[in-house]
Amino acid sequence: MKINHIFISHLHGDHTLGLIGLISSFNLNGRKSDLHVYAHKGLENNLLFNINFFVNDLNFKVVFHSIAPNKHQVIYDDGKITVESLPLKHKIPSTGFIFREKRGFPNIRKELIEKYSLTLAEINAIRNGSDLTAADGHIIPNAELTFYSSEPRSYAYCSDTMYSEKLIGMIKNVDLLYHEATFASTDESLAKQTGHSTSVQAATIALKSCAKKLIIGHFSSRYKKVSFLEDEARAIFENTIAVEDGQVFEVPIVRR
Protein backbone atom coordinates (compact mmCIF):
# COMPACT_ATOMS: atom_id res chain seq x y z
CA MET A 1 0.00 0.00 0.00
CA LYS A 2 3.05 2.25 0.28
CA ILE A 3 3.61 2.05 -3.50
CA ASN A 4 2.53 5.30 -5.17
CA HIS A 5 4.57 5.29 -8.41
CA ILE A 6 5.14 2.35 -10.77
CA PHE A 7 7.58 2.47 -13.69
CA ILE A 8 7.06 -0.02 -16.53
CA SER A 9 10.02 -0.66 -18.82
CA HIS A 10 8.26 -2.20 -21.82
CA LEU A 11 5.08 -3.90 -22.94
CA HIS A 12 5.95 -7.57 -22.68
CA GLY A 13 3.68 -9.66 -20.48
CA ASP A 14 6.26 -10.58 -17.85
CA HIS A 15 6.62 -6.86 -17.07
CA THR A 16 2.96 -5.82 -17.23
CA LEU A 17 0.49 -8.63 -16.51
CA GLY A 18 0.86 -8.36 -12.73
CA LEU A 19 -0.25 -4.74 -12.73
CA ILE A 20 -4.01 -5.37 -12.86
CA GLY A 21 -3.76 -7.87 -10.00
CA LEU A 22 -1.85 -5.36 -7.89
CA ILE A 23 -4.43 -2.63 -8.58
CA SER A 24 -7.23 -5.04 -7.68
CA SER A 25 -5.49 -5.93 -4.41
CA PHE A 26 -5.02 -2.25 -3.58
CA ASN A 27 -8.73 -1.72 -4.11
CA LEU A 28 -9.72 -4.69 -1.92
CA ASN A 29 -7.50 -3.32 0.84
CA GLY A 30 -9.24 0.06 0.79
CA ARG A 31 -6.71 2.21 -0.99
CA LYS A 32 -7.78 5.85 -1.46
CA SER A 33 -4.64 7.64 -2.64
CA ASP A 34 -3.75 8.09 -6.33
CA LEU A 35 -1.54 5.51 -8.06
CA HIS A 36 0.80 6.85 -10.75
CA VAL A 37 1.84 4.55 -13.61
CA TYR A 38 4.66 5.55 -15.98
CA ALA A 39 4.80 3.53 -19.19
CA HIS A 40 4.72 3.63 -22.98
CA LYS A 41 1.53 5.07 -24.43
CA GLY A 42 0.35 1.71 -25.75
CA LEU A 43 -0.35 0.41 -22.25
CA GLU A 44 -2.86 3.11 -21.30
CA ASN A 45 -5.98 1.87 -23.15
CA ASN A 46 -5.20 -1.76 -22.29
CA LEU A 47 -4.81 -0.91 -18.61
CA LEU A 48 -8.04 1.09 -18.49
CA PHE A 49 -9.92 -1.73 -20.24
CA ASN A 50 -8.67 -4.30 -17.72
CA ILE A 51 -9.48 -2.05 -14.76
CA ASN A 52 -13.03 -1.59 -16.04
CA PHE A 53 -13.38 -5.32 -16.73
CA PHE A 54 -11.77 -6.82 -13.61
CA VAL A 55 -12.08 -4.22 -10.84
CA ASN A 56 -15.44 -3.33 -9.37
CA ASP A 57 -15.90 0.23 -8.10
CA LEU A 58 -12.31 1.42 -8.11
CA ASN A 59 -11.88 3.59 -5.01
CA PHE A 60 -8.76 5.44 -6.09
CA LYS A 61 -7.48 7.17 -9.19
CA VAL A 62 -4.94 5.58 -11.54
CA VAL A 63 -2.96 8.38 -13.16
CA PHE A 64 -1.18 7.31 -16.37
CA HIS A 65 2.01 9.09 -17.45
CA SER A 66 3.13 8.38 -21.01
CA ILE A 67 6.91 8.12 -21.50
CA ALA A 68 8.85 8.33 -24.77
CA PRO A 69 11.04 5.19 -25.09
CA ASN A 70 13.61 6.93 -27.29
CA LYS A 71 14.31 9.88 -24.97
CA HIS A 72 16.61 10.34 -21.99
CA GLN A 73 14.74 12.81 -19.83
CA VAL A 74 13.46 13.49 -16.32
CA ILE A 75 9.99 11.96 -15.98
CA TYR A 76 9.49 12.46 -12.23
CA ASP A 77 10.65 15.04 -9.70
CA ASP A 78 9.24 15.50 -6.20
CA GLY A 79 11.95 17.81 -4.88
CA LYS A 80 13.78 14.97 -3.12
CA ILE A 81 14.30 12.48 -5.93
CA THR A 82 14.29 12.51 -9.72
CA VAL A 83 13.62 9.64 -12.13
CA GLU A 84 15.11 9.71 -15.62
CA SER A 85 14.12 7.51 -18.55
CA LEU A 86 16.93 5.61 -20.30
CA PRO A 87 16.44 4.42 -23.91
CA LEU A 88 17.30 0.71 -24.08
CA LYS A 89 17.83 -1.64 -27.02
CA HIS A 90 15.35 -4.52 -27.17
CA LYS A 91 13.12 -6.27 -29.73
CA ILE A 92 10.39 -3.76 -28.90
CA PRO A 93 10.71 -0.23 -27.45
CA SER A 94 12.14 -0.53 -23.95
CA THR A 95 13.04 2.00 -21.26
CA GLY A 96 15.36 1.85 -18.28
CA PHE A 97 15.24 4.19 -15.33
CA ILE A 98 17.73 5.96 -13.10
CA PHE A 99 16.64 7.14 -9.67
CA ARG A 100 18.69 9.97 -8.19
CA GLU A 101 18.47 11.62 -4.80
CA LYS A 102 18.58 15.39 -5.08
CA ARG A 103 21.19 17.21 -3.08
CA GLY A 104 19.52 18.95 -0.16
CA PHE A 105 20.45 22.20 1.53
CA PRO A 106 24.08 22.41 2.69
CA ASN A 107 25.23 22.72 6.28
CA ILE A 108 26.88 25.94 7.43
CA ARG A 109 30.20 25.67 9.23
CA LYS A 110 29.42 26.39 12.88
CA GLU A 111 32.63 28.26 13.56
CA LEU A 112 31.77 30.74 10.80
CA ILE A 113 28.32 31.44 12.25
CA GLU A 114 30.04 32.72 15.38
CA LYS A 115 32.92 34.39 13.55
CA TYR A 116 30.64 36.50 11.36
CA SER A 117 27.71 36.75 13.84
CA LEU A 118 25.33 35.49 11.18
CA THR A 119 21.65 36.34 11.51
CA LEU A 120 18.89 33.83 10.71
CA ALA A 121 18.20 35.72 7.49
CA GLU A 122 21.86 35.46 6.46
CA ILE A 123 21.97 31.76 7.37
CA ASN A 124 18.90 31.03 5.22
CA ALA A 125 20.35 33.02 2.32
CA ILE A 126 23.65 31.14 2.54
CA ARG A 127 21.90 27.75 2.66
CA ASN A 128 20.10 28.79 -0.53
CA GLY A 129 23.40 29.52 -2.27
CA SER A 130 24.22 33.16 -1.50
CA ASP A 131 27.70 34.44 -0.77
CA LEU A 132 28.33 36.54 2.33
CA THR A 133 29.41 40.17 2.37
CA ALA A 134 31.49 40.68 5.50
CA ALA A 135 31.45 43.84 7.61
CA ASP A 136 34.62 45.10 5.91
CA GLY A 137 33.02 44.64 2.48
CA HIS A 138 34.92 41.61 1.19
CA ILE A 139 32.97 38.71 -0.31
CA ILE A 140 33.15 35.24 1.22
CA PRO A 141 32.17 32.57 -1.36
CA ASN A 142 29.35 30.23 -0.47
CA ALA A 143 31.62 27.21 -0.93
CA GLU A 144 33.82 28.42 1.95
CA LEU A 145 30.84 28.81 4.26
CA THR A 146 29.04 25.51 3.63
CA PHE A 147 29.56 21.77 3.33
CA TYR A 148 27.48 18.70 2.51
CA SER A 149 27.45 15.90 5.07
CA SER A 150 26.75 13.15 2.52
CA GLU A 151 26.59 12.47 -1.19
CA PRO A 152 23.23 11.91 -2.98
CA ARG A 153 22.69 8.29 -4.04
CA SER A 154 21.63 6.80 -7.37
CA TYR A 155 20.21 3.54 -8.72
CA ALA A 156 19.87 2.53 -12.38
CA TYR A 157 17.54 -0.18 -13.69
CA CYS A 158 18.34 -1.54 -17.16
CA SER A 159 16.08 -4.35 -18.43
CA ASP A 160 15.19 -5.65 -20.98
CA THR A 161 18.08 -4.67 -23.20
CA MET A 162 20.86 -5.79 -25.47
CA TYR A 163 24.40 -4.59 -24.85
CA SER A 164 24.41 -0.87 -25.57
CA GLU A 165 27.32 1.48 -24.92
CA LYS A 166 24.94 4.42 -25.25
CA LEU A 167 23.96 3.67 -21.65
CA ILE A 168 27.42 4.32 -20.29
CA GLY A 169 27.31 8.11 -20.27
CA MET A 170 23.76 8.19 -18.90
CA ILE A 171 24.53 6.01 -15.87
CA LYS A 172 28.09 7.20 -15.19
CA ASN A 173 29.22 6.68 -11.57
CA VAL A 174 25.87 5.25 -10.47
CA ASP A 175 25.94 3.77 -6.95
CA LEU A 176 23.89 0.68 -7.78
CA LEU A 177 23.25 -0.76 -11.24
CA TYR A 178 20.74 -3.47 -12.07
CA HIS A 179 21.46 -4.81 -15.54
CA GLU A 180 19.79 -7.84 -17.04
CA ALA A 181 22.03 -10.84 -17.75
CA THR A 182 19.64 -13.27 -19.37
CA PHE A 183 22.31 -15.44 -20.97
CA ALA A 184 25.78 -16.85 -20.39
CA SER A 185 28.66 -15.62 -22.53
CA THR A 186 28.55 -18.86 -24.54
CA ASP A 187 25.01 -17.93 -25.63
CA GLU A 188 25.88 -14.44 -26.87
CA SER A 189 24.39 -15.11 -30.31
CA LEU A 190 21.10 -16.09 -28.68
CA ALA A 191 21.21 -12.94 -26.55
CA LYS A 192 21.55 -10.83 -29.69
CA GLN A 193 18.80 -12.75 -31.46
CA THR A 194 16.31 -12.24 -28.61
CA GLY A 195 17.30 -8.69 -27.64
CA HIS A 196 18.99 -9.50 -24.34
CA SER A 197 22.43 -9.32 -22.70
CA THR A 198 24.95 -11.79 -21.34
CA SER A 199 26.52 -11.70 -17.89
CA VAL A 200 29.81 -10.56 -19.42
CA GLN A 201 28.08 -7.74 -21.30
CA ALA A 202 26.31 -6.55 -18.14
CA ALA A 203 29.63 -6.52 -16.28
CA THR A 204 31.27 -4.62 -19.12
CA ILE A 205 28.63 -1.89 -18.91
CA ALA A 206 29.19 -1.68 -15.14
CA LEU A 207 32.94 -1.43 -15.60
CA LYS A 208 32.83 1.21 -18.34
CA SER A 209 30.25 3.32 -16.51
CA CYS A 210 32.28 3.19 -13.25
CA ALA A 211 29.29 1.83 -11.34
CA LYS A 212 29.98 1.09 -7.70
CA LYS A 213 27.97 -2.13 -7.52
CA LEU A 214 26.25 -4.39 -10.07
CA ILE A 215 23.31 -6.71 -9.55
CA ILE A 216 22.32 -9.02 -12.40
CA GLY A 217 19.04 -10.84 -13.01
CA HIS A 218 16.35 -11.77 -15.55
CA PHE A 219 18.08 -15.13 -16.03
CA SER A 220 16.98 -17.59 -18.68
CA SER A 221 15.13 -20.63 -17.31
CA ARG A 222 17.50 -22.82 -19.31
CA TYR A 223 20.05 -22.48 -16.51
CA LYS A 224 19.32 -24.63 -13.44
CA LYS A 225 21.88 -22.65 -11.41
CA VAL A 226 23.04 -19.08 -12.00
CA SER A 227 26.15 -18.98 -9.82
CA PHE A 228 28.33 -19.43 -12.92
CA LEU A 229 26.75 -16.29 -14.44
CA GLU A 230 27.82 -14.40 -11.35
CA ASP A 231 31.33 -15.84 -11.71
CA GLU A 232 31.48 -14.76 -15.36
CA ALA A 233 30.48 -11.21 -14.45
CA ARG A 234 32.84 -11.01 -11.47
CA ALA A 235 35.79 -11.87 -13.69
CA ILE A 236 35.20 -8.46 -15.31
CA PHE A 237 33.46 -6.47 -12.56
CA GLU A 238 34.22 -7.89 -9.13
CA ASN A 239 31.43 -6.22 -7.14
CA THR A 240 28.64 -8.21 -8.80
CA ILE A 241 25.76 -10.13 -7.23
CA ALA A 242 23.32 -12.46 -9.00
CA VAL A 243 19.95 -11.58 -7.48
CA GLU A 244 17.19 -13.78 -6.15
CA ASP A 245 13.55 -12.80 -5.66
CA GLY A 246 12.95 -11.03 -2.37
CA GLN A 247 16.48 -9.79 -1.82
CA VAL A 248 16.92 -6.21 -0.60
CA PHE A 249 19.93 -4.06 -1.43
CA GLU A 250 20.69 -0.92 0.54
CA VAL A 251 22.72 1.83 -1.07
CA PRO A 252 24.86 3.14 1.79
CA ILE A 253 25.07 6.84 2.60
CA VAL A 254 28.56 8.14 1.92
CA ARG A 255 29.56 10.62 4.59
CA ARG A 256 31.88 13.42 3.66
Range of the domain at 42: 1-66
Cβ distance 85 to 70 under 8 Å? no
Do 92 and 7 sit in the same domain of this protein?
no
Distance (Å, rounded) from C-alpha 229 to C-alpha 238? 12
> pLDDT tens across 164-196, in order?
999 999 999 999 999 999 999 999 999 999 999
| Predicted confidence band of residue 119 (pLDDT cuts 50, 70, 90) | confident
Do 50 and 10 sit in the same domain of this protein?
yes
- pLDDT(251) > 70: yes
Do 91 and 205 sit in the same domain of this protein?
yes
Do 175 and 81 sit in the same domain of this protein?
yes
Quick one: pLDDT at residue 95? 98
Quick one: pLDDT at residue 162? 98
Do 30 and 129 sit in the same domain of this protein?
no
CATH of the domain at 256: 3.60.15.10
Do 43 and 155 sit in the same domain of this protein?
no
Q: Structure pTM?
A: 0.84
Least confident of 93-97, 119-123, 194-198, 215-219: 119-123
Do 60 and 32 sit in the same domain of this protein?
yes
Neighbours of 128 (CB within 10 A): 10
Do 54 and 126 sit in the same domain of this protein?
no
Do 18 and 41 sit in the same domain of this protein?
yes
Quick one: pLDDT at residue 135? 82
> pLDDT tens across 13-51, in order?
999 999 999 999 999 999 999 999 999 999 999 999 999
Quick one: pLDDT at residue 124? 87
Average pLDDT (230-235) is 98
Phi, psi of 43 (to 5 degrees): -80, -25
Do 256 and 137 sit in the same domain of this protein?
no
14 as an active site residue: the answer is: yes
Q: Residues for the chain: how many in total?
A: 256
Identify the H or E element spanning 6. Answer: strand 5-7
Please work out, in degrees rounded to the nearest 5, the angle formed at the alpha carbon of residue 192 by the alpha carbons of 218 and 234.
50
- pLDDT(206) > 70: yes
Cβ distance 130 to 139 under 8 Å? no
Domain count, the chain: 3
- pLDDT(256) > 70: no
Instruction: Characterize the bridge pairing of strands 132-133 and 62-66.
Output: unpaired
Do 94 and 205 sit in the same domain of this protein?
yes
Quick one: pLDDT at residue 145? 85
> pLDDT tens across 137-153, in order?
889 888 888 877 778 99
Quick one: pLDDT at residue 248? 93
Do 14 and 81 sit in the same domain of this protein?
no
